[in-house]
Amino acid sequence: MPEAVAGIVSRTLAAVVDLLVVLVLMGAAFLAVAGVRFLVSPIAFRWPSPSWTQSVTVSGLLAVGYLTVGWAIAGRSYGGAVLGLRVRSARGAQPGWVRAGLRAVLCVVFPLGLAWAVVSRRRRSLQDLAVGTVVVYDWEPRDGQVSPPGGVPGGAEPVHRRLTRVEEEPP
C-alpha cells in the first residue's frame, strides 16, 4: 500500500513540536554556559547575556543539527514521531546525511517554504522540491522502535489508512 503524503496541518504541528524541542535545547545550552561560568569563577559569576545575533545563531545551529540528525538517522524528528510523519527521499529511501542537512538548513532559513505544501498537488514544500524529499504518514515501527497497538496512540487506525483502504477496494 503506498504511503499517504502528509498535509500542511500535521506538518505544521510537527514543526511546532520541533520548535519547542529547540527552545528546550536553547535553555539547556544557556544553563550549561552559566554552569561553566559559575565553575570557573563563582565569586564574580554573572548570568550570561547573549546578544540577539548570538541567540539567533546558536538557535539556528541547534535547530539544523537537531533536524539533520533526526532525519538522517530515523527519517523523523521528535515532532515527526509525535505526529506519525517520516521524511523520505522522493524514491522512498532514508534521506541520508547530506540531503537531511540541506533540508534542515532550508527549513531553518526559510520556514515559510512549508506553505508551498498547501498549493502543491503532491503536498511538497519548497524544501522538499529543492532536495528531493517527501513527508509521509508513517506510524509503523522501524528498527526496533516501539509503537502502540494499531500504530497510533489509543490503538485506533489512522484515518489516512482507512481512506486509502477504501479507495483500493473494487467498486
Name the domain count of the chain. 1
Let me know: does 67 contact 88? Beta carbons within 8 Å. no
HSE-up (13 A, CA, CB side) for residue 20: 9
Residue 25 lies in a domain: yes
Domain assignment present for residue 160? The answer is no
* Domain assignment present for 46: yes
Annotate 18-72 with DSSP letters as a single string: HHHHHHHHHHHHHHHHHHHHHHH-STT-------HHHHHHHHHHHHHHHHHHHHH
Would residue 105 count as lying in a domain? yes
- pLDDT in the model for residue 142: 56
Please report, to the nearest 10 degrees, the dihedral formed by the alpha carbons of residues 65, 67, 69, 70 taken in order: 160
pLDDT of residue 167: 46
Residue 69 is placed in which grid cell?
Answer: 540528525
Return the pLDDT at 3: 76
Give the list of residues 6+ apart from residue 106 with CB closer than 8 angstroms, or none. 113, 126, 127, 130, 131
Mean pLDDT by 10 residues, the chain (171 residues): 81 96 96 95 93 95 97 94 92 91 96 91 91 88 50 46 45 46
Please state, as a whole number, how many other Cβ atoms lie within 10 Å of the Cβ of residue 124: 19
Please identify which residue in the block is written with the cell numbers 500535521: 10
- In terms of residue numbers, what domain contains 59? 8-138
* 111 φ, ψ (degrees, to nearest 5): -65, -25
18 within some domain: yes
Q: Which amino acid is at 18?
A: D
pTM over 0.85: no
Decide if 117 is inside a domain: yes
153 domain-assigned: no
> For the CA atoms of the chain, what is the radius of gyration?
19
In a domain, 40, yes or no: yes
